[in-house]
């Protein structure tokens, strides 16, 4: 007989029947619930009358099982406070300190949580304290109030039409992307999109997708997981050179703002990679990860605008809003869109309420306002970083700062490893350039730091900058 113990206020499954009869079975089931942690220390158990009625057994059987567990040290019973799980069990649960010590497995040791750094300058995250909570909440309320009831169903695997329509307009206006809602697919961030594309490319028979000599190993790993080789493209004084990627059928690029080096793809090389894709039928996977943030020059338009039939445009809300939203999008050539939708699945896998909220946030102008205010804040930080480094560490050169949320600090030769170690001792989290170097990089080794100046909240920025200057040579 299996019963759901509703009177406890928690979902707890008991099997009170065992080889020793009802009393023995109930005692063993309760003991196991305490030992396993399903009944936490201090939990008040139902009265013997209530539990007996719930399980359909005699009240005396429950009272005797309680008494057995009190004698063993698992439970405690006091007038006026009822019967409770003992709170002094070693390790929270496990074997009680009473006279009888039932044999049982030793609880697994708890992991000690890793200490958070005092300051975080790891690139890739915006200032999360600046997330526009008030405006987002307004958009969420409007979106939920006006959404048709069927919007809460399983949905189109391409994503909500409201968001795809809003994105088509915004991307055309702000990034020069040529698209319509039918060729946009909503994803749970960039990694989700890249995983889908990797599977589609492999199913098409591709074996190789070239990547940049500097980038993110998690992206290379996603392509390799799909069965694709990921050789590195050459990198020189003009940046990435993707013009002739060997046997690759696709290339993954960050053309507007190379990550992490910070330079845009040279105009001649933009033209060359488009010519390669048209001549060979290859595909360019364009990661436009922080396209909104430009400071000292005009925005570099999306490469997709030059060849919408050969470029897959990939964007997310991770840098402009917050990575925890898990909202991204693919703008696909028409012949690839259906394959990507099929690979994503038959139903939408991205939270519909967040999709509807972002659609409203874009349509009402709140997204543009947030990006503009963020751009001013990050530019002030960038200026403060450049000025402080120039003054405190004149041998260090600040580069890659015309755009984005990070800077590359060129260090004296041979000093990168020691500086990164010194930063760790100071409680300062940051990456050396070597962290982002492809194992087969075709590039001259450089000593540098990749400093994410967008990450700290305003209250921590001055301290983070001071800690950084202390470790620079």
**Does 114 fall in a domain?**
no
List phi, psi (to 5°) of 374: -65, -40
Helix intervals (H) in 56-157? 59-72, 133-146
Residue 96's pLDDT band, with cuts at 50, 70 and 90, is: low
User: Cis omega before residue 393 (within 30°)?
Assistant: no
pLDDT at 281: 95
Say whether both 373 and 400 belong to one domain. yes
Pair 374, 130: CB distance under 8 Å: yes
pLDDT at 107: 47
Q: CA 3, CA 9: separation in Å to the nearest integer?
A: 14
pLDDT at 100: 42
pLDDT at 227: 97
Q: CA 126, CA 145: separation in Å to the nearest integer?
A: 30
Strands 431-432 and 448-452: antiparallel
Say whether both 401 and 341 belong to one domain. no
Q: CA 191, CA 186: separation in Å to the nearest integer?
A: 12
- With a cut of 60, say whether residue 399 has pLDDT above it: yes
Say whether both 260 and 405 belong to one domain. no
pLDDT at 229: 97
**Does 460 fall in a domain?**
yes
Q: Rounded to 5 degrees, what angle do the CA atoms 292, 298, 300 make?
A: 60
Mean pLDDT to the nearest integer, 287-294: 92
Say whether both 332 and 375 belong to one domain. no
β-partners of residue 431 are 450
CB atoms within 10 A of CB 62: 28
pLDDT at 17: 59
Closest CA to 142 of 436, 356, 343, 463: 356
The last residue of one of the domains, among 329, 344, 367, is 367
pLDDT at 10: 38
- SS3 of 69, please? helix
- SS3 of 309, please? coil
Say whether both 340 and 240 belong to one domain. yes
Residue 189's pLDDT band, with cuts at 50, 70 and 90, is: very high
Q: What's 266's domain CATH number?
A: 3.40.640.10
**Helical axes 334-344 vs 190-203, angle rounded to 10°:** 110
pLDDT tens-digit map of 409-427: 999 999 999 999 999 988 9
The torsion of the CA quartet 54, 60, 63, 65, rounded to 10 degrees, works out to: -90
Q: What's 72's domain CATH number?
A: 1.10.10.10
Residue 47 belongs to what domain range? 3-85
β-partners of residue 83 are 77
- SS3 of 377, please? helix
- With a cut of 50, say whether residue 328 has pLDDT above it: yes
pLDDT tens-digit map of 272-281: 999 999 999 9
Closest CA to 310 of 286, 328, 289: 286
- With a cut of 60, say whether residue 7 has pLDDT above it: no
- With a cut of 50, say whether residue 267 has pLDDT above it: yes
- With a cut of 70, say whether residue 110 has pLDDT above it: no
Residue 306 or residue 108, greater confidence: 306
- SS3 of 137, please? helix
The last residue of one of the domains, among 367, 398, 416, is 367
Q: Lowest-pLDDT range, 27-36, 179-188, 193-202, 365-374?
A: 27-36
Q: Number of helices and strands (H, E) in the chain?
A: 13, 18
Say whether both 174 and 273 belong to one domain. yes
Q: Which two tokens stand for residue 300?
A: 């570099």
With 0-12 CB in 10 A as exposed, 13-18 as middle and 19+ as buried, what is 272? middle
Percent of the chain at pLDDT > 70 equals 90
pLDDT tens-digit map of 383-397: 999 999 999 999 999
Say whether both 245 and 304 belong to one domain. yes
- With a cut of 60, say whether residue 166 has pLDDT above it: yes
pLDDT at 320: 96
- With a cut of 80, say whether residue 92 has pLDDT above it: no
Q: CA 149, CA 125: separation in Å to the nearest integer?
A: 35
Say whether both 404 and 462 belong to one domain. yes
Strands 283-287 and 250-253: parallel
- With a cut of 60, say whether residue 379 has pLDDT above it: yes
- With a cut of 50, say whether residue 38 has pLDDT above it: yes
Q: Which two tokens stand for residue 203?
A: 């199913």
pLDDT at 16: 62
The last residue of one of the domains, among 340, 367, 394, is 367
Residue 311's pLDDT band, with cuts at 50, 70 and 90, is: very high
Residue 319 or residue 20, greater confidence: 319
Say whether both 272 and 310 belong to one domain. yes
- DSSP 8-state assignment for residue 184: E
**Does 191 fall in a domain?**
yes
- DSSP 8-state assignment for residue 90: T
Say whether both 137 and 7 belong to one domain. no
Residue 237 or residue 358, greater confidence: 358
List phi, psi (to 5°) of 282: -75, 170
Residue 19's pLDDT band, with cuts at 50, 70 and 90, is: low
pLDDT at 65: 87
- With a cut of 50, say whether residue 109 has pLDDT above it: no
- With a cut of 60, say whether residue 25 has pLDDT above it: yes
Q: CA 239, CA 254: separation in Å to the nearest integer?
A: 11
- With a cut of 90, say whether residue 348 has pLDDT above it: no
Mean pLDDT to the nearest integer, 106-124: 68
pLDDT at 15: 62
pLDDT tens-digit map of 63-89: 888 888 888 888 888 877 788 888 866
Q: What's 458's domain CATH number?
A: 3.90.1150.10
Strands 311-316 and 283-287: parallel
Q: CA 115, CA 237: separation in Å to the nearest integer?
A: 39
**Does 415 fall in a domain?**
yes
Say whether both 244 and 391 belong to one domain. no
372 Cβ contact partners less than 8 Å away, ≥ 6 residues apart: none
Q: Which two tokens stand for residue 234?
A: 């050459």
**Does 68 fall in a domain?**
yes
Rg of the Cα atoms in the chain: 29
With 0-12 CB in 10 A as exposed, 13-18 as middle and 19+ as buried, what is 290? buried
pLDDT at 56: 77
Q: Over the chain, what is the mean pLDDT?
A: 88
Q: CA 461, CA 42: separation in Å to the nearest integer?
A: 43
Match 């943030």 to its residue by tokens. 293
Q: Which two tokens stand for residue 87?
A: 């709170």
- With a cut of 50, say whether residue 108 has pLDDT above it: no
- Would you say the C-alpha torsion 265, 268, 271, 273 has a positive or negative sign? negative
How many domains are contained in the chain? 3
**Does 301 fall in a domain?**
yes
Percent of the chain at pLDDT > 90 equals 69
pLDDT at 61: 85
Mean pLDDT to the nearest integer, 2-8: 41
**Does 97 fall in a domain?**
no
**Does 192 fall in a domain?**
yes
Say whether both 68 and 151 belong to one domain. no
With 0-12 CB in 10 A as exposed, 13-18 as middle and 19+ as buried, what is 128? middle
């Amino acid at each position: 007989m299996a019963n759901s113990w509703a009177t406890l206020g928690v979902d707890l499954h008991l099997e009170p029947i065992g080889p020793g009869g009802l009393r023995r079975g109930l005692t063993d089931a309760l003991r196991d619930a305490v030992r396993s942690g399903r009944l936490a220390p201090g939990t008040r158990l139902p009265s013997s009358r209530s539990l007996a009625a719930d399980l359909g057994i005699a009240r005396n059987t429950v009272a005797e099982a309680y008494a057995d567990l009190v004698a063993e040290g698992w439970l405690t019973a006091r007038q006026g406070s009822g019967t409770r799980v003992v709170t002094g069990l070693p390790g929270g649960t496990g074997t009680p300190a009473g006279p009888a010590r039932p044999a049982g497995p030793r609880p697994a040791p708890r992991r000690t949580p890793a200490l958070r750094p005092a300051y975080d300058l790891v690139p890739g995250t915006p200032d999360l304290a600046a997330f526009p909570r008030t405006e987002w909440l307004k958009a969420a309320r409007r979106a939920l109030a006006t959404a048709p009831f069927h919007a809460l169903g399983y949905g189109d695997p391409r994503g909500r039409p409201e968001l795809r329509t809003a994105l088509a307009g915004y991307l055309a206006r702000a990034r020069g992307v040529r698209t319509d809602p039918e060729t946009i697919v909503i994803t749970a961030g960039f990694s989700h999109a890249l995983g889908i594309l990797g599977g589609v490319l492999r199913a098409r028979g591709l074996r190789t997708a070239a990547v940049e000599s500097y980038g993110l190993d998690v992206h290379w790993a996603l392509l390799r997981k799909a069965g694709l080789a990921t050789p590195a493209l050459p990198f020189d004084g003009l940046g990435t050179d993707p013009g002739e990627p060997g046997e690759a059928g696709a290339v993954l690029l960050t053309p507007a703002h190379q990550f992490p080096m910070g330079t845009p793809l040279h105009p001649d090389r933009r033209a060359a990679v488009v010519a390669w894709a048209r001549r060979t039928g290859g595909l360019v996977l364009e990661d436009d990860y922080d396209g909104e943030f430009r400071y000292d020059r005009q925005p570099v338009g999306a490469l997709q605008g030059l060849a919408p039939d050969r470029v897959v445009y990939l964007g997310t809300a991770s840098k402009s809003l917050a990575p925890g939203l898990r909202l991204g999008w693919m703008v696909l050539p028409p012949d690839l869109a259906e394959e990507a939708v099929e690979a994503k699945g038959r139903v939408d896998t991205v939270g519909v309420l967040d999709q509807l909220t972002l659609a409203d946030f874009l349509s009402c102008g709140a997204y543009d306002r947030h990006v503009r205010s963020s751009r001013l804040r990050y530019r002030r930080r960038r200026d403060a970083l450049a000025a402080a480094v120039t003054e405190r560490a004149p041998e260090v050169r600040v580069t890659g700062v015309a755009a984005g949320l990070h800077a590359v600090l060129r260090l004296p030769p041979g000093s990168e490893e020691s500086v990164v170690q010194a930063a760790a001792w100071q409680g300062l989290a940051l990456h050396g350039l070597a962290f982002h170097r492809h194992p087969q990089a075709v590039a001259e080794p450089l000593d540098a730091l990749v400093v994410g100046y967008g990450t700290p909240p305003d209250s921590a920025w001055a301290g983070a900058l001071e800690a950084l200057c202390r470790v620079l040579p």
